[in-house]
Amino acid sequence: MESRAATGEAAGLEVVDLGRIDYLAAWELQLRSVEERADRRRGDTLFLCEHPPVITCGRGTRPANLLAPDVPVHEIERGGDVTYHGPGQLVGYPIRLLPPGGRDLHAHLRWIEERLLAAVAALGVTGHRRPGLTGVWAPEGKLASIGIAVRRWVTYHGFALNVETDLAAFRAIRPCGLDASAMTSLAKVLGASPGMPAAREAVARAFRVA
């Protein structure tokens, strides 16, 4: 595992680009980082990465939503239902210590949505929220899924933004309980991919100024 770039720090948040990394390796890195953050041995950090094809099942996964997986499947401790990760999707894991007086997980979810809305706007897409459905949407469908966990009041897990993802991969599941056709990507909305480097930079910039 190699961190290709630690792209600066502002407002107490360091953004680290892990490149393409196995899902379980990223999960183990999160667990270590949560303990380091809780013990004040590191600051708030956003890990950005891509994963090889994998399906993850959160605590709210219903078995009926796992249809015909042909890639590794992992049960994990984040909230939410089943989702897919793969190349062309930008995954972000905010390791964030919630301070006394700010220990509101719903507010943390809204914070992630807000930063992603700013990022996709910078890439030319007007996103929005949908009442009762966590995530970021465009008129064409769902752009980003979000699921989190918390330990010692440090958040982990996070978001998956479809940049140039193969949307056909979602047909193996009912992503977050939705039909696979509900998923879209920046490439589909824009008619051409903005490119992963541009998406990483837009997301990093949006979270640094939060």
Residue 40, number of CB atoms within 10 A of its CB? 8
Domains of the chain: 5-208 (3.30.930.10)
CA-based nearest residue to 59, from 37, 33, 79: 79
Q: What does the pLDDT profile of the chain (210 residues) look like in tens digits?
A: 333 333 333 347 999 999 999 999 999 999 999 999 999 999 999 999 999 999 999 999 999 999 999 999 999 999 999 999 999 999 999 999 999 988 999 999 999 999 999 999 999 999 999 999 999 999 999 999 999 999 999 999 999 999 999 999 999 999 999 999 999 999 999 999 999 999 999 999 999 975
DSSP classification of residue 181: G
Residue 53 to residues 60, 148, 155, 175: CA-CA distances in angstroms? 21, 20, 24, 14
Q: Is the dihedral of CA 39, 95, 80, 66 positive or negative?
A: negative
Q: First-to-last CA distance in the chain?
A: 28
DSSP classification of residue 91: E
- What does the alpha-carbon distance between residue 86 and residue 164 come to, in Å, rounded to a whole number? 10
Catalytic positions, written as ranges: 176
